[in-house]
């Protein structure tokens, strides 16, 4: 059994297969997920696990070079945007419309669906390299 890092075998597998610039998404429970994307559903009930909790765990185990958020998060969910920015600690963040976000999401290797139930609590993470 793993002692450290993400215990969810599906997330762990996806992270181990990522190459430079590949993307994964952390999604709230309402974001439509394209049928062709790998869906990793970790939701247990409304709010659990949350967006920020899931982002925090992924950032501990994934090299991220860039992130993308819907610009609507700035006006409709400022607390989540501020907490995400604090966790990203200097990682560049691009803001795009929610519609553009959904188009970019379609390129992701996987979407991790959380129990988050606040607006625009979604992020696209771009894999970096460790060397």
Residue 114, in any domain of the structure = yes
pLDDT at 60: 95
Burial of 101 (0-12, 13-18, 19+ CB in 10 A): buried
Domains contained in the chain, number: 1
User: Does position 120 have pLDDT exceeding 90, yes or no?
Assistant: yes
Question: How would you classify the pairing of strands 23-27 and 110-113?
Answer: parallel
* Whether residue 18 has pLDDT greater than 80: yes
> Is the pLDDT assigned to residue 2 strictly greater than 90?
no
Question: Has residue 2 been placed in a domain?
Answer: no
Which residue ranges make up the annotated binding site?
Answer: 28, 98, 120-122
Q: What is the pTM of this model?
A: 0.96
Structural domain includes residue 1: no
Answer yes or no: is 4 within a domain. Answer: no
CA atoms of 125 and 68, how far apart (whole Å): 7
Q: Which residue range forms the structural domain that includes residue 99?
A: 9-127
Q: With 90 as the cut, is the pLDDT of residue 84 above it?
A: yes
User: What pLDDT is attached to residue 4?
Assistant: 82
- Return the pLDDT at 1: 74
Supply the pLDDT for residue 109: 97
Domain membership of residue 44 (yes or no) is: yes
Catalytic positions:
20
Known binding site for substrate: residues?
28, 98, 120-122
- Per cent of the chain over pLDDT 90 is 96
Average the pLDDT over each of 4-8, 16-20, 49-53, 63-67 and give the range with the smallest value: 4-8
- Could you tell me the CATH number of the domain that includes residue 66? 3.40.1650.10
Assigned domain for 13 exists: yes
Give dist(CA 28, CA 17) in Å, integer: 23
Residue 104 is inside which H or E element, if any?
A: helix 98-105
Residue 21's pLDDT band, with cuts at 50, 70 and 90, is: very high
Q: How far is it, in rounded angstroms, from Cα 116 to Cα 51?
A: 6
């Amino acid at each position: 059994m793993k002692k450290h890092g993400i215990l969810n075998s599906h997330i762990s597998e996806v992270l181990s297969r990522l190459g430079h610039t590949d993307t994964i998404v952390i999604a709230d429970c309402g974001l439509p997920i394209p049928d062709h994307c790998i869906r990793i559903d970790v939701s247990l009930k409304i709010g659990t696990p949350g967006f920020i909790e899931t982002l925090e765990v992924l950032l501990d185990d994934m090299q991220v070079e860039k992130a993308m958020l819907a610009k609507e998060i700035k006006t409709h969910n400022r607390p989540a945007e501020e907490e995400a920015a604090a966790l990203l600690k200097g990682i560049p963040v691009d803001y795009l419309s929610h519609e553009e976000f959904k188009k970019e999401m379609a390129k992701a290797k996987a979407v991790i669906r959380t129990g988050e139930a606040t607006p625009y609590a979604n992020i696209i993470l771009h894999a970096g390299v460790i060397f």
